Amino acid sequence: MVGPGAAPLENANPLIYRRSGERPVTAREEDDELPDAIDDREIFDLIRSINDPEHPLTLEELNVVEQVRVKVNDAESTVSVEFTPTIPHCSMATLIGLSIKVKLLRSLPDRFKLDVHITPGTHASEHAVNKQLADKERVAAALENSHLLEVVNQCLTARS
């Protein structure tokens, strides 16, 4: 896995998408008496500002993550996220998926089961990447690797 700065760029001129606006807060959410279920938009807000490992852009700006590809079921404690690599041979796909997974692991209560997949049909090694991301033993081992953890943390650090 390569970190940022390892030239040449794989996808030199990516399409850039417009960011979504701030999420409107509903009257129900402002009522502290009512329980708030976690919804798709909240999960999307957690991951949309993750940095791309290659470009000074967010995953939302590159259309790697979209709100319609986030599915939450709060009652069943499941979260599923599909992400779309910018090109079908993107070697950063595993790193991007890992960053999404780590962000959600750190942000959500432990009860949630997280599934992070590549959008079907958008990557040449879709099955292999999905299998790695679903293997919690390999994810645990990867996160004990200080170099890899540093790269993931860079993707997760909000730019000023």
Partner 1 sequence: MPEALSLLCRVSAHPESRCWALAWSPSGTLLASCGGDRTVRIWGRDGPGWSCRAVLADGHQRTVRRVAWSPCGHYLASASFDGTTCVWKRQENDFEVVATLEGHENEVKSVAWAPSGSLLATCSRDKSVWVWEVDDEEQEFECVSVLSAHTQDVKHVVWHPSQELLASASYDDTVRLYREDDDDWVCCATLEGHTSTVWAVAWERSGQRLVSCSDDRTLRVWERSESGSGTEHSWKCVCTLSGYHGRSIYDVAWCHLTGAVATACGDDAVRVFEEVAAVAPGDAVTFSLAAHVPRAHAQDANGVAWHPREPGLLASCGDDGDIAFWHYQRPEGL
- The smaller minimum CB distance to partner 1, of residues 23 and 71, is found at 71
- The smaller minimum CB distance to partner 1, of residues 38 and 87, is found at 38
**Cβ atoms of residues 15 and 117 within 8 Å:** no
Minimum CB distance to partner 1, residue 120 (Å) = 17
**Cβ atoms of residues 147 and 153 within 8 Å:** no
- The smaller minimum CB distance to partner 1, of residues 75 and 140, is found at 140
- The smaller minimum CB distance to partner 1, of residues 15 and 140, is found at 140
Task: Please state the separation of Cα 50 from the chain's center in Å.
Answer: 7
Question: Phi/psi class of residue 121: alpha, beta or left (left: φ > 0; alpha: ψ in -120 to 50)?
Answer: left
Nearest C-alpha neighbor of 23 from the set 37, 39, 42, 49? 42
Is beta strand 70-73 parallel, antiparallel or unpaired with respect to 78-83? antiparallel
Nearest C-alpha neighbor of 79 from the set 35, 48, 110, 119? 110
Minimum CB distance to partner 1, residue 140 (Å) = 6
Minimum CB distance to partner 1, residue 73 (Å) = 13
- Which residues are near partner 1 by CB under 8 A? 110-111, 113, 131, 134-138, 140-141, 144
Minimum CB distance to partner 1, residue 131 (Å) = 7
- The smaller minimum CB distance to partner 1, of residues 19 and 136, is found at 136
Q: What is the C-alpha separation between 37 and 49, in angstroms, rounded? A: 22
